[in-house]
Structure 1
Amino acid sequence: MVELKTAAEIDSMAVTGSFIATLLDDLSGRAAVGVNLLDLEQRARDLIAQRGAVSCYVDYAPSFGRGPFANVICLSVNDAALHGLPHDYVLADGDLLTMDIAVSIDGWVADSARSIIVGTPAPADLRLIRATEEALDAGIAAAAPGGHLGDISHAIGAVAKKFGYRVNGDFGGHGLGRTMHEDPHVSNSGKRGRGMALTPGLTLALEPWFCATTDRIRYDPDGWTLRSADGSRAAHSEHTIAITEQGPRVLTCHRGFDTGLR
């Protein structure tokens, strides 16, 4: 079921989104060579507790995964594409780190992900991250009232194709609001003019993610971490947006009141 939000409810989601943007800025500044993933996880916990927010990840138990998720953030390194389980790993020079987090404040959820390079960047990794960011921008630009969900999916997939990356259809974006995952599913590839209409009040998490040389994935033994099937690197960018009469509104930016692209 799709629940359309009022302007006031979207403003509430924007408060959560602004906090998430600040949290990701903080962690991005701390993610350096020699830093343990568990230290980043603990910092995220501390910031969430200080804000009085609630993690959407702790005790999350979907059909995949081995037991409920026990952490407040997904930290995926190098070939880990999604749902990286924070563990005892010290970041090394050149690591590609993706941070993905969703929290609730006063009952309203926002969700965002960011990929960064730790230390010395490799050009191929920068290109991969740039592709996800450009795809996210394209998806946001296509999220116009009166359009269709397929317009967003097509825009994201077109950027992947431009960069020469293939799209995995198993995981994509989603609706959200009172909970982390709501209808509809938002594929990272699709056809213009197809799917549900984009109506003001619709709130979506758009999350293009690409692996460098494959669209296939495999699970780690932890049952959570998804890696590229061939060991190539992966990147992921995500924003929570709202469809408004004036166009797309990005909620997971600072203050959460900006309209249009990042």
Structure 2
Amino acid sequence: MGCCSSSEDLRSNTQVSKELNQDKKIDANVKKLLFLGSEEKANNNRHDVTSKKKKLKMWDIGGSGKSTLFKQLRTIHGQGFQDKDRQGFKDHIYSQIIEQMKELVNAFEDLKDEDPDKFGNLKISDEGQPAAEFMESVRGDMDVNDEVADAVELLWKEEAIKATFGERARLKVDDSSEYFFNEVRRIAVRGYVPTDKDILMVRHRTTGVVEQKFNIHGTTFHVFDVGGQRSERKKWIHCFERVTAVIFVASLAAYNEVSTWTNLYCVLFFLIGGSD
């Protein structure tokens, strides 16, 4: 009986050793990459790859283009976006059009006081004024219908609004909003379904963790997209474990943007410094 027991133990140990060796081979092919982005106007994302399982982590802080890259991977190498996904993005597109135009209208009034040399002689025309007042009453969770599209189209033709958009680096206005303002009539059509380009262009904050798997030339990429705002960072801190490399994602259009946190630190510094 003792011999049988020893034989079974030996076979069991051999099997365990075999499985451990297989795991080691798999682990040797795991490449975990962490994508980092720029500060504040931002989001975070991450990706996993195991090569034959490469583990890749993507992380950015809103506005760097990391989430757009994630969506491009899904479009090119994944299964794309299903009807249910597109309906969800439609709400984000509606919200971006409404909120960003409202931001431009409100910011214009502020810029006239802050920069009178540049904005002092500009004004919203008599024709555009009712549209500006109408946009103030539109909520961000509403659909973009013909009435909203009329107002957005009219305001987007205003020199004052175009000049304000030119100062978007100082505002909470995204570059992609120009695309949606130009496409607002198509988007306002009943039964509108976002195109792949619409989905790539829309800007929305990533919260939690979004996961996708891609197979590219026999390599499986396990990709995670995570929220990058400061309030979201506690959700992705554990992703730093066993990182092989860090890849920084940055927007070339954001060279002159300033983090809102940086502005806050400056204000606090002067307040504390002048508290004597």
Q: Could you state the TM-score of these two structures normalised by the residue count of structure 2?
A: 0.24
Q: Larger relative contact order (C-alpha < 8 A, sep ≥ 6)?
A: 2
Q: Which has the larger radius of gyration?
A: 2
Higher strand share: 1
Higher helix share: 2
Q: Could you state the TM-score of these two structures normalised by the residue count of structure 1?
A: 0.25
